[in-house]
Amino acid sequence: MNIQISDLQGNKVSERAVAFEIIENARGTQAVKDTVVAHLAARRQGTRQAKTAGEVAGTNKKPWRQKGTGRARHGSFQSPIWVGGGVVFGPRPHDFSVKVNTKVRRLALRKAVSERLKSGDIIVLSDLKLESPKTKDFVKAVASLKVLEGSLLIVADADRNLRLAARNLPDVKMTTGEDLNAYLTLWPDKIVFTENAFRKLENRLGGKVAA
């Protein structure tokens, strides 16, 4: 499969073959699902907690004597049956992370990139540089590409001017070729690579698809 290299006006600069194997069949679909689930699970803090009877504030004194009052016997106001008492089987701190091995993550990324390439959702620019970190300069630079709504910008290195200029646009995210993952690949409507960033991605994905 070939990829077209364009300039900021959308004009074709060159064209070459993609340097990794494109997945044409359903292979990798489960890997994508597992990787995305693991990514979303890792974002959960798992810090919520309810207090048990031993953790709520209060005294250990009996509310009233055991016998002779005509009322049910009780040992503590911290009991779960009282308002303000402890919680039975309440939420506790929990690690939601899911282990996905490196080969599965790599397969998932290659599958996701392959699908976006086949759908024509990936744009590769010969270069993208800004002289200043101003958002208006970034908008002007990519205006002809029409990628400011729901787009992911991928650069070779963390360029300070690009990072500062793009961060004020809520529908544009930026990352590097080394940090791209399957979840980020599926999120945007359009993915914009610089040519150097795409080469770094090719280096990551170079090699045969896992069986």
Lowest-confidence segment of 9-18, 23-32, 126-135, 147-156 by average pLDDT = 147-156
pTM score, two decimals?
Answer: 0.79
- Say yes or no to pLDDT of 138 above 90: no
In this predicted structure, what is the pLDDT of residue 124? 92
The three-class DSSP label of residue 190 is strand
- Say yes or no to pLDDT of 27 above 80: yes
Average pLDDT, the chain: 89
In this predicted structure, what is the pLDDT of residue 210? 44
DSSP state for residue 157 in the 8-state scheme? S
Q: How confident is the model at residue 207 (pLDDT cuts 50, 70, 90)?
A: low
- Strand runs (DSSP E) across the chain, as ranges? 2-6, 12-17, 122-125, 151-155, 172-176, 190-194
Q: Tokens 């993609």 label which residue?
A: 18
In this predicted structure, what is the pLDDT of residue 143? 82
So where are the chain's domains? 2-44+96-205, 46-95
In this predicted structure, what is the pLDDT of residue 174? 87
pLDDT in tens, 82-121: 999 999 999 999 999 999 999 999 999 999 999 999 999 9
Distance CA 109, CA 118 (A): 14
Decide: 134 and 155 in contact? Cβ < 8 Å. no
- Say yes or no to pLDDT of 182 above 60: yes
Decide: 149 and 170 in contact? Cβ < 8 Å. no
In this predicted structure, what is the pLDDT of residue 52? 93
| Average pLDDT over every residue of 141-167 | 81
Distance CA 63, CA 50 (A): 23
| Average pLDDT over every residue of 145-153 | 78
In this predicted structure, what is the pLDDT of residue 82? 92
Q: Extract long-range pairs of 24-30: CB within 8 Å, 24+ residues apart.
A: 24/114, 27/107, 27/111, 27/209, 28/107, 28/108, 28/110, 28/111, 28/114, 28/209, 29/111
Decide: 20 and 14 in contact? Cβ < 8 Å. no
Q: How confident is the model at residue 145 (pLDDT cuts 50, 70, 90)?
A: confident
Quick one: 2-44+96-205 is in which CATH superfamily?
Ribosomal protein L4/L1 (3.40.1370.10)
